[in-house]
Amino acid sequence: MHLIDRLIEQIIEKRNPTVVGLDTRLEYVPDHVVERCSGASPFEVAASAIFEFNKAIIDAVYEHIPAVKIQVAYYELYGPPGMEAFRLTAQYAKSKGLIVIGDIKRNDIGSTAEAYASAYLGETPLKNGRMPAFDLDFVTVNPYLGTDGVMPFIQACKEYNKGIFVLVKTSNPSSGEFQDLPVEGKRLYNKVAEKVVEWGKELMGTKGYSHIGAVIGATYPRQLEELRGEMPNTYFLIPGYGAQGGSVQDVMGGFDANGLGAVINASRSVICAYRRSPWKEKFSPKSFADAARAEVLHMKEEIEAALSHNGIKPW
């Protein structure tokens, strides 16, 4: 089955377009988890604690969400052992039937982009044969280098039934500095969006959406709505909900009339739920995974209600 069709089926089956962002820093991991972990270096201990934390979160939420997004920066932070925790987390999430989005924002010239695509989506050539290194489902890609920096990822999508989300309009405060510059009567992000649509044409699934998606921040609701109109076959990965300030109403513009077309990422609001009101009053740090599930279910209800309120039949 096409990966993008499987994502859509998972969203419908679980009645939830929420993606949990495993942006796990060591400081988020409660002490009782860290104390159980050992390793030959402080980074190995940290990486092991982060993987244990992630496993517990995945166990608590996998029945309620279609996918996880793993932000690789928070694993590179702990050196090679951190990257091993990244790999194991992706593998574990897949074993629970989840789709795995690697938030890696990689980009480079063609030959180097090919190495990234092989590492994260495809297989690594060895002296005898080939072997996958990280084997994710989707990755995020930065478009600044243009088509030949993106093509190797698209090639890997074709070959291995994978997908990408290309940065179009990012969620950060200064994203407009370059992305909003006026270019030939449009904005730069519109020009990037045009290319994403073009790239996506030959990689369509059977349910109206392409394997080549776009990242659009929840913090820019007007642009989200505008781009939904310009990119009818492009799935959106929407970060910026929750801790970054995007509300459930802000993300509504990303959905189509069937409640599809968008996955909403929530990271800190879910994985750190046990440290935040109202959950910290109900759950102790020992129950961090239960707090995460409670927040996921709360967010699911909130999105479902908002979709109905906006006249969109939720699945």
Sole window of 3-11, 99-107, 250-258, 291-299 interacting with its own copies (rule: CB under 8 A): 99-107
Q: Is 120 in the site for its own copies (CB under 8 A)?
A: yes
In this structure, the dihedral spanned by the alpha carbons of residues 222, 195, 74 and 300, taken in order and rounded to 10 degrees, is 50
In angstroms, the CA 189 to CA 174 distance is 13
H or E element that contains 8: helix 3-14
Q: State how beta strands 138-141 and 130-131 pair.
A: unpaired
* Minimum separation from the CB atom of position 155 to its own copies (A): 15
Q: Is 79 in the site for its own copies (CB under 8 A)?
A: yes
Determine whether 191 is an active site residue: no
Q: Are 217 and 236 within 8 A, CB to CB?
A: no
Instruction: Closer to its own copies by CB, 91 or 308: give it.
Output: 91
40, 127, 222, 277: residue in contact with its own copies (rule CB under 8 A): 127
x/- map, 171-210, its own copies, by CB under 8 A: xxxxxxxxx-xxxx---x--xx--x---------------
Q: Is 211 in the site for its own copies (CB under 8 A)?
A: no
Q: Are 119 and 160 within 8 A, CB to CB?
A: no
Rg (CA), the chain: 19
Instruction: Closer to its own copies by CB, 107 or 233: give it.
Output: 107
Q: Is 110 in the site for its own copies (CB under 8 A)?
A: yes
Sole window of 23-31, 51-59, 271-279, 283-291 interacting with its own copies (rule: CB under 8 A): 23-31
Instruction: Closer to its own copies by CB, 121 or 307: give it.
Output: 121
In angstroms, the CA 151 to CA 298 distance is 39
Q: Is 40 in the site for its own copies (CB under 8 A)?
A: no
Q: Which of 105, 191, 207, 280 is catalytic?
A: 105
* Minimum separation from the CB atom of position 63 to its own copies (A): 28
Instruction: Give Dmax (Cα) for the chain.
Output: 58
Q: Is 80 in the site for its own copies (CB under 8 A)?
A: yes
- Which residues in 141-160 contact its own copies (CB under 8 A)? 142-149
In angstroms, the CA 2 to CA 7 distance is 9
Instruction: Closer to its own copies by CB, 16 or 265: give it.
Output: 265
* Minimum separation from the CB atom of position 71 to its own copies (A): 6
Q: Is 37 in the site for its own copies (CB under 8 A)?
A: no
16, 118, 234, 269: residue in contact with its own copies (rule CB under 8 A): 118
Q: What is the DSSP string of 99-149?
A: EEEEEEEE--SHHHHHHHHHHHTS-EE-SSSEE-SS--SEEEE--TT-HHH
Specify the 3-state DSSP secondary structure of 247.
coil
* Minimum separation from the CB atom of position 288 to its own copies (A): 16
Go through the chain and tell me how many residues it has. Answer: 315
In angstroms, the CA 100 to CA 93 distance is 7
Which residues are the active-site residues? 105
